[in-house]
Amino acid sequence: MALRISTAARNAAADKIDDLVSAGGGTFGKIEIRTGSQPATPDSAATGTLLATFTLQNPAFGNASAGSITLGGTPLTVAASATGTAGWFRVYANGTATAVVDGACGTSGAELNLNTVSLNSGVNVTITSGVITMPGA
């Protein structure tokens, strides 16, 4: 038998991710965009070149639906801090270096979508959308 998770439990888990990112008054979570391959877990040290850092709104995500939370405030735009190809992203808790979740970058169909994955230092890059989905039934 396979493990299955109810929609209510998936929504609760997704909302808890937003709570971790957004907790604490007056501070905000952040997203880092990096080159290379995503590490084994969010608890692993970040790898690759840091290309861009985005400050998130608070709360960072909307309320969960069907086990997913959608990044709020998009589009979000910043100037890239380095040149390279975006490979993955990591979301950090408000005002801390505590990683909460990471995933794949792309221009369409990824967990975090950018206007381009070819970043150039000093040139604006935009997060066009982001969704975190809990595993389901």
pLDDT, tens only, 40-62: 999 999 999 999 999 999 899 99
Nearest in space to 14 (alpha carbons), one of 56, 90, 68: 68
pLDDT at 25 over 70: no
pLDDT at 103 over 90: yes
Q: CA-CA distance, 102 to 16, in Å (whole number)? A: 15
Question: Going by C-beta distance under 8 Å and a sequence separation of 6 or more, which residues neighbour residue 57?
Answer: 28, 72, 73
* Domain regions of the chain by residue span: 7-39+46-133
Instruction: List helix spans (H) across the chain.
Output: 7-22
Strand pairing class (30-34; 118-119): unpaired
Residue whose entry in the numeric block shows the structure tokens 């206007």: 115
Lowest mean pLDDT among 18-27, 65-74, 125-134: 18-27
Confidence band of 2 (pLDDT split at 50, 70, 90): confident
